[in-house]
Structure 1
Amino acid sequence: MTTDLFSQKKTFFDRWAPNYDFLLTTIFYQSVHRRLLSYVSLPEGAKILDLGCGTGRLLERLASQFPDLTGIGLDLSPEMLRQAREKNQHHPRLIYCQGNAEALPFADGQFDAVFNTISFLHYPNPNQVFSEVSRVLNQQGQFYLADSTIGSVRSIPFSPGGIRFYSPQQREEFGQAVGLNCLGHYHLLGRVLLSIFSHS
């Protein structure tokens, strides 16, 4: 992905951010988050990462449900992150930083869990994202990937560079290529499918 396309995507989400939590889609996202949390199991004192965290709604829910976790939200958009920081009810347990999912600024094995919800479809190099997730996830950790699958449709020109949809089998193949095994697929809401991965 070129630097120019990264810049276009950042600008796209920066413009969306001020109204992001007031759109009808946010009700949908909140429903997805509630269903996702019913599948989440974390160790005591878990360290977690939310890729494409947006305005931080999922991390806020996780911090409320697991009061001893610490979490980092990463997003490409500075404006999304500004919104997340303003609404952060769990500082300093939760912090937010700008970054690229294809080159995560974190140490190997740093996290007990990585979450990616309704943003994987924006990544132009999904193999590289899986590789980075595998790297920063510890050996007992799990990767929770929740995103849309739309029948035979492969991509649509929604944002700069378009968005892409992947079948359960394609997700499994991404994982297998970097040593992540799929523990199962679970329907959350509509066509949103949760896939859970682990090193073991």
Structure 2
Amino acid sequence: MNSLIDSASIFRYHRDMIVLHGSQDSKALGWLDKKSQSVRFEALSTVADLRGCSMLDAGCGYGDLFGYLDQNFTDISYWGMEQIPELLEEAELRYGHNPRVTFLPGNFMYSKLPICGYTIACGSLSYHSADPDFVFKAIARLYENCKLGLGFNLLRSIPVNELIVAYNPQVILSYCRTLSAKCIMLDDYVEDDFTVFMYH
């Protein structure tokens, strides 16, 4: 599980990025640019036909996944969970007025999660943890909590970095197949990223 030290590092990183780039810029969330963010949203949105579905965005940042999905699917009920207050505050400003949106403060590894049809984790499983099994525990927890399916992305290559971790896609996929009989991996949309879908 994420330790207090891990969480403090994540908080400090994003607060530094907000100071550097401002709260309106996707770079404050660690994305290279808006396109880098949207191409990952596009890949994750193929998890299913999400019209009329409920979904949890685990580690939602500014909630921009809702903004993307709302342009492509009707009547999504969206829950976004975020542990960093500054990010959650901006998410509320952007999307909190929408009656189909609920934002929750909390760490998705510890907090009570809403039961939704689908759970999405976009970038939020890529942080370094003192627990070498963090990513596997996170995948299991998020998968067990959703009713229909989980979609998440991870990096497969990165520059040397103390905050972000890359993973072998086949190792991750093999683990996911111990939990779900139906797993799909996408690895052709950007060079350094891959997405996995797990279905109940």
Q: TM-score, normalization: structure 1?
A: 0.80
Q: Shift in Å at residue 66 of structure 1?
A: 1.8
CA–CA distance in structure 1, aligned partners of residues 61 and 109 of structure 2:
16
Q: CA deviation at 1:179?
A: 4.0
Deviation readout 1:80-133 (Å, 9 max, x if unpaired): 1111111117622112122213224125xx211111112211152112211211
Identify which of 113, 122, 129 aligns with 2:127.
Answer: 122
CA distance in 2, matches of 1:81, 1:101: 14
Whichever residue aligns with residue 26 of structure 1, its letter is K
Q: Extract unaligned runs of 5+ from structure 1.
A: none
2:55 maps to a residue whose letter is I
* 1:17–1:83 contact (8 Å) kept in structure 2: no
| Aligned pairs for 1:90-109 within 5 A | 91-106=98-113
SS at match of 2:149: strand
Matching residue's letter, 1:31: V
1:57 aligns with 64
2:152 aligned with 1:145: yes
Aligned equivalent of 1:132: 141
- The equivalent of 1:111 in structure 2 is 116
- 1:111 alignment partner AA: C
C-alpha contact (below 8 Å) 1:188/1:194 kept by paired residues: no
In the alignment, what sits opposite 1:13? 14
Preserved CA contact (<8 Å) 2:119 2:143: no
2:165 paired residue number: 164
Aligned pair count reads 188
**After superposition, what is the alpha-carbon deviation per residue over 1:26-59, rounded to whole angstroms, capped at 9, x for unaligned?**
331123323443x232355211011121111112
Normalised TM-score (structure 2): 0.80
Aligned CA distance change for structure 1 residues 156 and 21 (closer, same or farther; 3 Å): farther
SS in 2 for 1:111: coil
Partner of 1:196: 197
- Post-superposition offset of 1:164: 1.4
Instruction: Judge which range, 90-99 or 179-188, deviates more.
Output: 179-188
Residues 3, 30 of structure 1: alpha-carbon distance in 2 compared, 3 angstrom cutoff: same
Task: Find the partner of 1:31 among 31, 39, 64.
Answer: 39
Higher strand share: 1
**8 A contact 1:172–1:181 mirrored in 2:** no
Relative distance call for 1:196 and 1:20 in structure 2 (3 A) is farther
User: 2:96 and 2:112 mapped to 1: Cα distance?
Assistant: 24
**What is aligned with 2:49?**
42
Say whether the 8 Å CA contact 1:168–1:185 is kept in structure 2.
no
For 2:75, the equivalent position in structure 1 comes to 68
Q: CA RMSD in A?
A: 2.5
